[in-house]
Amino acid sequence: MPTAHAFLSRLNVQYPIIQAPMAGTSTPELAAAVSNAGGMGSLGLGNLSVEAARAQIRQLQALTDNAFNINFFCHQPEPADATRDQAWLQRLTPWFSLFNAQPPAQLEAGYDSFTDNRAMLDMLLEERPPVVSFHFGVPDAEAIAALHAAGILLMGCATSLAEAQLIEAAGLDAVIAQGYEAGGHRGLFDPQHEPALGLLALLDQLQGALSLPVIAAGGLMDGKDMAAALARGACAAQLGTAFISCPESAAPAAYRAQLLSERAEHTRVTAIFSGRPARGIVNRSHREIGPHAAELAGYPQAYSAAKALHAAAAAQDCHEFAPYWAGTGAHRSRALPAAQLVATLMHELTGTGWGPVPVQTPSAAL
């Protein structure tokens, strides 16, 4: 794998720290704070309309001159199945009844995949963010060529060697190696095939098998964690859960409270919230609805039912049905401003003996 210096220098990023995109939780303020502090901030925009995504990119551009990453979903939508959808809503009815509520009359279609959204591609070609990354797969060759022609660097998320090789074959510029410890959605290309590889085991498989730089992701919370990943050949570390407790994130108070409580010691991967495997803090949804996962509606439409149930429960101050995404290291969360967290991570990393730290100054030029 190429050295950290080569990849980070290409981005003009000072430190080997990437803040994960976290759609719905990351904000332009969070991403900018990380980028301005020497790392690379990210925004997950796959759940937004084209114009809302454009507005977020422009807001971020106004807050930093340094590199940042914009993330989209490349999932294959599951075929519509009204019978299956209604059966899932019926299954959830007893939990809605706990809060004197009814499930939605029908499931919403959910957000579009980037692979089917030409308008989103056109917007990116106009706005030209420095970096774009993809989850659940990669776009087609035409989109990749167009984004590269616009000077945009591309990254893809892989949970296995096979997925990483597909990313490399597609011509992307870097692989994000996502270990099973990661919070949020698993980046599986095929949700029916779950390798469940831990991060270090995944990095060992990728080392020597790819020519692309590899970014480590999954359960990383401090400088010691980062050092272990960098020692396995990663050129940078992507941290998500570590940044959720920062004041710049969009996490609601109940989410922050759980991350800073003993509940954060218990996370689990489940598909029952969205229809795709994702890791979050264990609650009643995991324990009570989880056993019915075989009856789930498809992704992403299943998400609308989970959101409706959480809204009904939260209205009565119950947060036991929330998809509070979190990695296995969530119990080590720190409620620090993003720039202070970046500085703390680098202090911890250098304290492990890792180095030398790149000393170039971040620049807007890529």
Q: Is residue 225 assigned to a domain?
A: yes
Residues 240 and 296 in one domain: no
Q: Output the pLDDT for position 364.
A: 37
Q: Output the pLDDT for position 193.
A: 87
Torsion of CA 188, 60, 16, 365, to 10 degrees: 120
- Quote the tokens at residue 86: 């209604």
Residues 128 and 96 in one domain: no
User: Residue 17 above 50 pLDDT?
Assistant: yes
Residues 140 and 247 in one domain: yes
User: Residue 338 above 60 pLDDT?
Assistant: yes
345 close to 197: Cβ distance less than 8 angstroms: no
DSSP sequence for 98-142: TTT----SS----PPPGGG-HHHHHHHHHH--SEEEEESS---HH
Residues 221 and 282 in one domain: no
Q: Output the pLDDT for position 18.
A: 98
Residues 285 and 205 in one domain: no
Residue pLDDT, tens place only, 240-273? 999 999 999 999 999 999 999 999 999 999 999 9
Longest dimension (CA), the chain: 59
Cis peptide before 2 (omega within 30 of 0): no
Q: Is residue 256 assigned to a domain?
A: no
**Which residue type, as a one-letter code, is found at position 329?**
G
**Range of the structural domain that residue 298 is part of:** 78-110+261-331
Q: Output the pLDDT for position 79.
A: 83
User: Residue 125 above 90 pLDDT?
Assistant: yes
For residue 270, the cross-strand partners are 278
Q: Is residue 201 assigned to a domain?
A: yes
Structure-model confidence comparison of residues 363 and 192, the more confident one: 192
Residue pLDDT, tens place only, 164-189? 999 999 999 999 999 999 999 999 99
**Which residue type, as a one-letter code, is found at position 319?**
H
157: domain CATH number is: 3.20.20.70
Torsion of CA 198, 202, 203, 204, to 10 degrees: 110
CB-based contacts of 294: which residues, under 8 Å, 6+ apart? none
The total number of structural domains in the chain stands at 2
